Amino acid sequence: MIEKLKPEPAIQSSKDASKIIIEITGMHKWFGAFHVLKNINLKVSTGERIVICGPSGSGKSTLIRCINRLEEHQEGKIVVDDVELTGDLKNIEIIRSEVGIVFQQFNLFPHLTVLENCSLAPIWVRNMAKAEAEDLALKYLERVQIPEQAKKYPGQLSGGQQQRVAIARSLCMNPKIMLFDEPTSALDPEMIKEVLDVMVELAETGVTMLVVTHEMGFATAVADRVIFMDEGEIIEQKPPNEFFQNPEHDRTKLFLSQILAH
Amino acid sequence: MAEATETYKVGQHPDLPPPRSEVGVIGWVKYNLLSTPFNVIMTLLAIWFLWSIIPPIFEWAVLDSVWTAESRKACWAKMEVPEGAACWAFIKDRIGLFIYGFYPADLRWRVNLSFVLMVLAIVSVLYENMPGRKFGLWYAVAFPFITGWLLVGGLGLTHVDTDQFGGIMLTFIIGITGISFSLPIGILLALGRRSKLPVIRVLCVLIIEFIRGVPLIALLFIASTMLNYFLPPGTAFDLLLRVLIMVTVFSSAYIAEVIRGGLQGIPNGQYEAADSLGLTYTKAHLLIILPQALKISIPGIVNTFIGLYKDTTLVLIIGMLDPLGVGRASLADAVWAGLAREVYIFVAVFFFICCFSMSRYSLWLEKRLSTEN
């Protein structure tokens, strides 16, 4: 709690990029008998933007969901912002309040207005005053360009608008890390762009981002590193240019040829 | 129709009003009552049925009914045909008993005051837009204690034994206590049944399954006869209090299952979203999960409440006089005997008004909480 009293810089400067903010070592995860993640080793520096891709069922969503403990890993070690993820509920709640996640299905709270969706966590997790939290929420709603929808309920918005609200909701917690779990996969083609635009803009602020997506245009434009996963393993990771022009493994080449073919 | 056939340029087609036959009173009648020959016959039959049943009932209950008389004989003497109409004088004569039971006549102001306080408490809880609602909610929490003191007495008020309670007052006491306590207890049982801690889960399952597996009447008999055996000797435990506990526990088990159904209807993503924002279990449930689960459970919850409210009449089996019990006791009076129809209709109308109000309130609440387009 003492740490949180210190004023946090709204934007993480890329100068401390040398600092490792996520460190995963020798991590394994099983769903029942099914071995979903195998020996994952990954270091992410502060401010780094990573795109994770791979065929469906390769474990990429599970991997990022392990980072805020929506999924529990069975072996190995995950350290987020110098806190190790264990069964300790207090640690988990602290890490979750520092790590934002945007889901494929938006998962907005349908019984609350857009403004309430965004101000809820600052009020109840950060103990912020209601008026202050609402100002903050409006600020981020402006940033995702839908302040005029603040009084509406999620069910009254389009998919693209809902996803932008979901991004604003996460940003209201001033997270150090943003996770995106296929944020555009449930959207109509016309709405994908409005969400990607917001994400590109967000990337420019320097927040650490891990994005599971098949939007290769986004990866090229924004990512510092592209990770390719298959069958629960990290097969290959490279800067986007190298990754697209010079893939090493046959599996990566096959994947790229399939998604770039159309 | 003619307008719709006009041609417009592509991309410039305006929004046209729907065809006339689809809207308005005529459209409604045509569509709902006269759409097919079979429908026409059914409509005529229904009109004939209503025509032949409503006027006689209205005559019996209102036009020809007698409102003042000293006895059944005097009542019938006032009618054109003896027994040909309702004798409401009987109900009027017994109305004190129907409302207050055997509560001492000179202390009935305490019951009346409790009724007024009750209405205030109900309004405070049910209407969100009421001015000063925050104060109203605190008042609603204090209400059971205030009324308990008013009705039973003590601390400066004359003591009244609970076996003198009866009639509508008793129904309200049991019904409202059962409803207001079984909801929170039911929520806790439902959450407990979904708990990850085996001890809590098994305990909740056992409570729910045991209570649901036993008829309410059996529980009431347990309350009236057996409970004293289980308690330390010398602890006199008021019968009404025992009945209140049994009724509450009974309906809690049902409420728990209704709410569990609601909880299962909440998509996993809602839990994940709440967790991912760093909300604790308690906050996530209070702010995110329960508001949604309770909303989808409203029809089931109100259904259980209506059932509970009507089941309060079962207390007559263990010797408590609710309105139905008062009615049956009154029929034993030689002066009035034979007026069973009036008594049962009166009791039925009382229960119908209460239950129908609950039903309408729940529909209104569902509509108000709807956040769809």
B306 to B79, B182, B218, B254, B259: CA distances (angstroms): 38, 13, 20, 12, 16
Binary contact (B292, A110; C-beta < 8 A): yes
pLDDT tens digits along A17-51: 568 999 999 999 999 999 999 999 999 999 999 99
Nearest residue in chain A measured CA to CA from B271: A107
Give me chain B's average pLDDT, please.
89
pLDDT tens digits along B259-302: 999 999 999 999 999 999 999 999 999 999 999 999 999 999 99
Residue A149 has pLDDT above 60, yes or no: yes
The DSSP bridge partners found for residue A227 are: A52, A237
**Average pLDDT over every residue of B119-123:** 90
User: What pLDDT does residue A38 have?
Assistant: 95
Q: How far apart are the C-alpha atoms of A134 and A150, rounded to whole Å?
A: 10
Binary contact (A121, B369; C-beta < 8 A): no
pLDDT tens digits along B2-56: 455 678 888 888 888 877 666 778 778 888 888 889 989 999 999 999 999 999 9
Q: What percent of chain A has pLDDT over 90?
A: 80
**Average pLDDT over every residue of B131-158:** 88
Residue pointed to by tokens 């190790």: A84
Find all residues with CB under 8 Å of A163, minimum gap 6, and list them.
Answer: A102, A106, A183, A184, A187, A191, A195
Question: What are the chain A neighbours of B280 within 8 Å (beta carbons)?
Answer: 93
Domain topology for B90-103+160-369 = MetI-like fold (1.10.3720)
User: What pLDDT does residue B73 have?
Assistant: 86
Task: Check if A94 contacts B (Cβ < 8 Å).
Answer: yes
**Chain-centroid distance, C-alpha B303:** 8
Residue B186: half-sphere exposure toward Cβ, Cα within 13 Å: 31
Task: Check if A140 contacts B (Cβ < 8 Å).
Answer: no
Question: What are the tokens at B317?
Answer: 């089996």
Q: Where are the domains of chain B?
A: 19-64, 90-103+160-369
φ, ψ dihedrals at B291, nearest 5°:
-55, -40
Q: What percent of chain A has pLDDT over 70?
A: 92
Give me chain A's average pLDDT, please.
90
Closest CA relative to residue A178, chosen from A29, A24, A22, A42: A22
Residue A94 has pLDDT above 80, yes or no: yes
User: What pLDDT does residue B5 have?
Assistant: 63
Alpha helices in B194-289 (DSSP H): 198-213, 216-221, 227-230, 239-264, 268-276, 281-283
By the 10 Å C-beta count (0-12 exposed, 13-18 middle, 19+ buried), B70 is classed as exposed
| pLDDT grade for B68, boundaries at 50, 70 and 90 | confident
User: What pLDDT does residue B132 have?
Assistant: 80
Chain B residues touching chain A at CB-CB below 8 Å: 267, 269-270, 272-280, 283, 287-288, 291-292, 295, 369, 371-373
Q: Which of A69, A91, A111 to mutate to test the interface with B (most CBs of B within 10 A)?
A: A111
Residue from the list A70, A155, A156 with its beta carbon closest to the beta carbon of B275: A70
pLDDT tens digits along B173-220: 999 999 999 999 999 999 999 999 999 999 999 999 999 999 999 988
Residue A220 has pLDDT above 60, yes or no: yes
User: What pLDDT does residue B21 have?
Assistant: 65
User: What pLDDT does residue A3 have?
Assistant: 43
Q: What percent of chain B has pLDDT over 70?
A: 95
B214 to B174, B220, B308, B319: CA distances (angstroms): 19, 10, 15, 20
pLDDT tens digits along B314-372: 998 888 899 999 998 888 888 888 888 899 999 999 999 999 999 999 999 999 888 76
Q: How far apart are the C-alpha atoms of B41 and B49, rounded to whole Å?
A: 12
Q: What is the dihedral of CA A217, A9, A181, A112, to 10 degrees?
A: -120
Residue A202 has pLDDT above 60, yes or no: yes
Binary contact (A107, B273; C-beta < 8 A): yes
CA A168 to chain B, closest CA, distance in angstroms equals: 12
DSSP B1-21: -GGGGS---TT-PPPPPPPGG
Q: How far apart are the C-alpha atoms of A117 and B372, rounded to whole Å?
A: 16
